[in-house]
Structure 1
């Protein structure tokens, strides 16, 4: 692996529960691609995730969503999920954006129980993550290389045999912007490309991107992963085009 860096009868008056939404799965050329997109978590799972992470979770947390690529013969695999991505958020507050909005955001996350205020511990409230996916520790690991993803091959008009988009989390940053982590994957007969993108817009302050791309060549069985981090002042980006 290369690196540039998973009908019963109903009683009257009772409606049948909607069927569970099943994951989308594609097996192709020895690889298995799985995606799941469900509703945002409910209160109890959110509380459990908050306790395990040690930080308040985003407003919309899709904790049951995932995107996984696996190579069945070698045991290699990479999975993208919300918990592991949020576990990469700075929990010390050292990288927290020091702007007026930070206090407004923290106030929005304070909880009151019987008159006792529970204050959120300092952490990066923009939910910026450098998450590159969770690699199966039992399979082959990525190695450093100068080899890059072959963009020209991806530009070819090959048929797309599988496509999906999965949201992992989203937060409106106290109505002052947006932080969003999502994954897209498209599979062609000879190759696939996955893009996991963290996008943050803090109005009138900053635009930030953190991109992880995973490329698989089905013929050579080669996997390349690239990670890029970019950011710029909000006004500079706005002058180029709409934010």
Structure 2
């Protein structure tokens, strides 16, 4: 059992709380039984599992990489949740691979981890195959983002990219680009949904970057029937993604 927060292994786990360390080592931490099971079922590379003393391990974990039992104080030092389940895993990031895209969500500079995680989870539920994160978007492997995805992170192609270049590439491959925005926009429910569709949603305060809006094939907006000025970005994304799969 590891009992000291000064142990080198423990120090390395704690470092993975920071984005620069996650990027440096191409690894991240997940917490809880459900996320570990989803990562395993989706063939992500689990490097090691850490469990708190007194926690009963799943018998299936005997086939996993090394298991490390830790004391209560070590678990407190490495966990980032208020009510931890007492089990974590270190997971290797996946290499980005080119794949055909049928339905994709592009995310431009969204800052809130809960919003990003919810959009990834919704994209999974709506049958989208890809989520593309632009520069300035909250880190995909932020612990709050991961928890908010509820495991959907492991089911989709999710990667970071230059959105300008991605729009060009996807348009060349036959995708139509819808951007949320008010200028020269049409209501989404008045449009025919193209066979290959990419939807861009933007920053909580400023929306989609005007340069990206200019490159889109169509600006779309959602009708508001009450007095609210706007919708939360994850709610707007959900409405548009589910509309896309209705037709």
Q: TM-score, normalised by structure 2?
A: 0.22
Q: Which has the higher strand share?
A: 1
